Amino acid sequence: MGKIAFVFSGQGAQYPGMGHSLYENSAAAKAVFDHAEALQPGILELCFNSDKAVLAQTINTQPCVFLTDIAAAYALQEQDITVSMMAGFSLGEVAAVCFSGMISFDEVFRLVLYRAKVMQQCAEKYPGAMFAVLKLETAHVEAIAEQFNEAYPVNYNCPGQVVVAVALKEADAFSAAIKTAGGRAVRLNVNGAFHSPFMKEASDKLYSFLDNMQVTQPNIPVYANLTATPYVAEAFRHTLSAQVSNPVQWEKTIRTMRKEGCTHMVEVGVGKTLVGLIQKIDPEIFTCRVEDIQTLQDAARQLQEVE
């Protein structure tokens, strides 16, 4: 019998109208969005009707992507799909923590809004960019990054793809160095240099913010970006706060979950980036995604066979 994992999308694939199809067609998804609207009036307008430039701002992106992620997960659960383990990419990890029951939705949503604010502040204070580097070995990318004053490998995505965060003033030179080395540097659709030392102040503020939150052991194991191992309640504050200023160990996480018996992975939330990465990490893992009513129906049909 196979095991199903939910993997929650991160920032970067956002688009105007994300989540609206789920809102209109899933009672569970609608409940998520409506509750968030009661907590933060105007969030539905931001998700469904704002333009790309507005959504590109971290302070707006993160709550909207989070809501779409968690709504997609509840919509799939509504279809009687049972999940055995979870992970989330960057912001998606916060949605996974929420879905696991470690902290309440109200507390998590408050956390997401604060996380977005402090990361936006760091992005403005320390201007940076992020590049997905392709066609080069990881060690080669790390060696090139070391030639710059402020360039940091931050997302170990899959074989042949490492994301590097770099100071804005060095971005063009870094991109050129990758090209000279025979690689390709694709700039990401984010407005900060996340998971790097540029975010240390945000990490420290999050650690303090999490001090008074009530945390319980997760109902479903959540594999952390920081360690590629399951969360434990005792280390929750450190694991979730340190995540924003340290690398995402995504390839290692997926391989670990595979060893633990995961055979099917569902990307819940915005886009299909994680599906693509997982297929490159381990083509034997069955992948599908849920971000609207059509993909929800397709995934539910495909996953029923695993039950």
The C-alpha atoms of residue 259 and residue 282 are separated, in whole angstroms, by 11
Whether 135 and 229 share a structural domain: no
Whether 111 and 40 share a structural domain: yes
- Return the pLDDT at 109: 95
- Return the pLDDT at 306: 66
Report the pLDDT averaged over residues 103-120: 94
Report the pLDDT averaged over residues 201-209: 96
189 band by pLDDT with thresholds 50, 70 and 90: confident
Helix, strand, coil distribution of the chain in percent, nearest 5: 50, 15, 30
The secondary structure of residue 100, as a DSSP letter, is T
Whether 86 and 161 share a structural domain: no
What is the extent of the structural domain holding 138? 128-187
The C-alpha atoms of residue 106 and residue 46 are separated, in whole angstroms, by 19
Whether 178 and 227 share a structural domain: no
- Return the pLDDT at 233: 85
Pick the last residue of a domain from 151, 168, 187.
187
User: What is the chain's Cα-based Rg?
Assistant: 18
Give the DSSP H/E element, type plus range, for residue 292: none
Tokens of 145: 């990054």
- Buried-state track 178-210, b at ≥16 Cβ within 10 A, e below 16: beebebebeebebbbbbbbebbebbbebbeebb
Q: What is the pLDDT of residues 19-63, one digit of tens each?
A: 999 999 999 999 999 999 999 999 999 999 998 889 888 899 999
Whether 135 and 68 share a structural domain: no
Whether 85 and 167 share a structural domain: no
Q: What is the pLDDT of residues 254-286, one digit of tens each?
A: 999 999 999 999 999 999 999 999 999 999 999
Whether 133 and 91 share a structural domain: no
Whether 39 and 108 share a structural domain: yes
- Return the pLDDT at 1: 56
Instruction: Quote the mean pLDDT of the chain.
Output: 94
The C-alpha atoms of residue 275 and residue 89 are separated, in whole angstroms, by 12
- Return the pLDDT at 11: 85
- Return the pLDDT at 58: 86
Whether 155 and 44 share a structural domain: no
Q: What is the pLDDT of residues 137-167, one digit of tens each?
A: 999 999 999 999 999 999 999 999 999 999 9
87 band by pLDDT with thresholds 50, 70 and 90: very high
Q: Sheet harboring 3-8: ordered strands across?
A: 222-223, 85-88, 3-8, 262-268, 286-290
81 three-class SS: coil
Whether 293 and 281 share a structural domain: yes
- Return the pLDDT at 271: 92
Q: What is the pLDDT of residues 210-254, one digit of tens each?
A: 998 888 889 999 999 999 999 988 899 999 999 999 999 999 999
What whole-number percentage of the chain has pLDDT above 90? 87
* Counted domains in the chain: 2
- Return the pLDDT at 191: 83
For residue 90, CA distances in Å to 8, 178, 188, 242 come to 9, 24, 14, 11
Active site positions, annotated:
90, 195
Burial of 53 (0-12, 13-18, 19+ CB in 10 A): exposed
Q: What is the CATH number of the domain that holds 181?
A: 3.30.70.250
Whether 171 and 213 share a structural domain: no
Give me the helices (H) in the chain, please: 20-25, 27-39, 43-49, 52-55, 58-77, 91-99, 105-125, 138-145, 171-180, 200-209, 236-242, 250-259, 273-281, 293-303
Q: What is the CATH number of the domain that holds 51?
A: 3.40.366.10
Is the distance from CB of 290 to CB of 268 less than 8 angstroms?
Answer: yes
Whether 116 and 148 share a structural domain: no
- Buried-state track 14-26, b at ≥16 Cβ within 10 A, e below 16: bebebbbbbbeeb
Distance between first and last Cα of the chain: 8
